[in-house]
């Protein structure tokens, strides 16, 4: 069995990009692998958070994990800050990283915009992520395409320590889905759909109601050509909608193009609304049941204990290697 690890930040507005790029893979992988899924609350602190809202968002992500089909009997589901090894290992890895390699991270460059007062945590974020992964001897990391560079630096850090100190870490690999790996924003299909974008119609949140979903899809940016054809370069908007349609329906892009040959964008968008609503309404129903049940907190507590037992073993080994 392979060890699988991944996480989602509890920063609100979990959207269909997070679902199609990451959560959907989490569920697929859980039967045949040894899976650990984390709510990475310490990553959220890289930008200022309201403490009450953060607590609420942690429980929301936990409930969504269960609502999409993660099974706490089968997978470990836990909150990052419940396991001290993440921060501990992050420091050891920090001391084995180079400021140059961190400076090259595109996510840091985008989020800091070159500001002198960008939080240091934003700069060292990829190291905390590497610690999350390496702490569990992870083989496979299911994530969206935007995480490719962070997986690369995780591998570099693991290999560097292994070369310097002898076999210490398992060197992990990223796992990316074809259709869902990069869902773009609905109003600007050249940038990725994100939790934080100001325009709520740029994304479809997993908890949006049918009316909101309809509005966002019908308003989405397309082009003036009028044909439903996959062409990322020249038709990024329609290509993104085709991707979303394909990922939710399981149909090939080619099949979808054929089905809508000669149809206008309006018809296609209306059908896409139905496809999306049909796919996510059962998730929403389960979310509301689970979110209000008392079980949620005990599932996280149990997950934290199971994760910690694994993490402690790794930390013992790592401390030994470094003479701590």
Catalytic residue set: 111, 192, 195
Cα separation, 18 vs 209, whole angstroms: 17
Q: At what angle do helices 210-219 and 265-291 cross, to 10 degrees?
A: 150
Using the contact rule CB under 6 A, the part of the chain among 26-34, 109-117, 187-195, 305-313 near ligand ADP is 187-195
**195 labeled binding residue:** yes
Cβ contact 160:195 at 8 Å: no
Cite the DSSP H helix spans in 250-264.
253-259
* Least distance (Å) between residue 3 CB and Na ion: 10
Residue 194 binding ligand ADP, by CB under 6 A: yes
Interacting residue with ligand ADP among 75, 80, 147, 240 (CB under 6 A): 147
Q: Give the shortest CB-178-to-ligand ADP separation in angstroms.
A: 12
Please name which of 216, 167, 166, 160 lies closest in space to residue 193, comparing C-alpha atoms.
216
**Integer Cα distance of 260 and 200 in angstroms:** 28
The pair of structure tokens assigned to 26 is 């989490």
Stretch that binds ligand ADP, among 140-148, 151-159, 165-173, 269-277 (CB under 6 A): 140-148
Residue nearer to ligand ADP on the CB measure, 184 or 228: 184
* Nearest Cα to Cα of residue 241 among 225, 222, 267: 222
Instruction: Classify 58 as helix, strand or coil.
Output: helix
- For residues 162-181, which are near ligand ADP according to CB under 6 A? 180-181
* 10 labeled part of a ligand binding site: yes
Q: Does 28 bind ligand ADP (CB under 6 A)?
A: no
Residue closer to Na ion, measured from CB, 75 or 205:
75
Nearer to ligand ADP, 144 or 303 (CB): 144
Is residue 17 marked as binding?
yes
Between 17 and 85, whose beta carbon lies closer to ligand ADP?
Answer: 17
Contact between 63 and ligand ADP (CB under 6 A)?
A: no
Contact partner, 83, from Na ion, ligand ADP, none, Cβ < 5-8 Å per class = none
CB of 37 to Na ion, least distance (A): 10
Residue 183 lies near ligand ADP (rule: CB under 6 A) = yes
Q: State the burial class of residue 44 (Cβ atoms within 10 Å of its Cβ: 0-12, 13-18, 19+).
A: buried
Tell whether residue 34 is among the known ligand binding residues: no
Question: Which listed range, 33-41, 127-135, 154-162, 219-227, lies at the site for Na ion (CB under 5 A)?
Answer: 33-41
Query: Between residue 61 and residue 100, which ones bind Na ion under the rule CB under 5 A?
Result: 74
Closest-by-Cβ residue to Na ion is 74
Distances (CA, A) of 1 to 33, 41, 131, 139, 158: 5, 28, 21, 10, 21
- Residue identified by tokens 């959907």 is 24
193 interacts with, out of Na ion, ligand ADP, none, CB within 5 to 8 A per kind: ligand ADP
* C-beta closer to Na ion: residue 35 or 92: 35
Judged by CB under 5 A, the number of residues near Na ion is: 3
Core vs surface per residue 48-69: b (16+ CB within 10 A) or e: ebeeeeeeebbbbbbbbbbbbb
Q: Please state the separation of Cα 242 from the chain's center in Å.
A: 21
Alpha helices in the chain (DSSP H): 16-18, 24-30, 41-44, 51-68, 85-94, 99-103, 106-112, 120-134, 148-165, 210-219, 236-249, 253-259, 265-291, 295-322
Residue 30 interacts, among Na ion, ligand ADP, none and using kind-specific CB cut-offs from 5 to 8 Å, with Na ion
Q: Where do contacts with Na ion occur on this chain (CB under 5 A)?
A: 30, 35, 74
């Amino acid at each position: 069995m392979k060890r699988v690890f991944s996480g989602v930040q509890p920063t609100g507005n979990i959207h269909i990009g997070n679902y199609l790029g990451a959560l959907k893979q989490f569920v697929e992988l859980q039967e045949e692998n040894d899976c650990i899924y984390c709510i990475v609350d310490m990553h959220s602190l890289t930008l200022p958070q309201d403490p009450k809202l953060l607590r609420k968002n942690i429980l929301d992500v936990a409930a969504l994990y269960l609502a999409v089909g993660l099974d706490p009997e089968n997978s470990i589901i836990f909150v990052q800050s419940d396991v001290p090894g993440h921060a501990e290992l992050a420091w050891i890895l920090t001391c084995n990283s180079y400021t140059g390699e961190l400076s090259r991270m595109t996510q840091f460059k985008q989020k800091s915009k070159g500001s002198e007062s960008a939080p240091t945590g934003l700069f060292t974020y990829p190291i905390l992520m590497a610690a999350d992964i390496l702490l569990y001897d992870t083989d496979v990391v299911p994530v969206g395409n935007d995480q490719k560079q962070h997986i690369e630096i995780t591998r570099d850090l693991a290999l560097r320590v292994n070369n310097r100190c002898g076999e210490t870490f398992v060197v992990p690999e990223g796992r990316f889905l074809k259709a869902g790996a990069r869902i773009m924003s609905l109003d600007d299909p050249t940038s990725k759909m994100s939790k934080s974008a100001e325009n709520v119609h740029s994304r479809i949140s997993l908890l949006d109601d049918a009316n909101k979903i309809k509005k966002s899809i019908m308003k989405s940016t397309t082009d003036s050509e009028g044909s439903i054809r996959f062409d990322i370069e020249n038709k990024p908007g329609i290509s993104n909608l085709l991707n979303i349609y394909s990922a939710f329906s399981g149909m090939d892009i080619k099949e979808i193009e054929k089905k809508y040959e000669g149809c206008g964008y309006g018809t296609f968008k209306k059908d896409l609304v139905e496809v999306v609503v049909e796919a996510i309404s059962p998730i929403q129903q389960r979310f509301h049941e689970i979110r209000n049940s008392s079980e949620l907190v005990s599932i996280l507590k149990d997950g934290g204990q199971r994760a910690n037992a694994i993490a402690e073993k790794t930390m013992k080994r790592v401390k030994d290697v470094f003479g701590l």
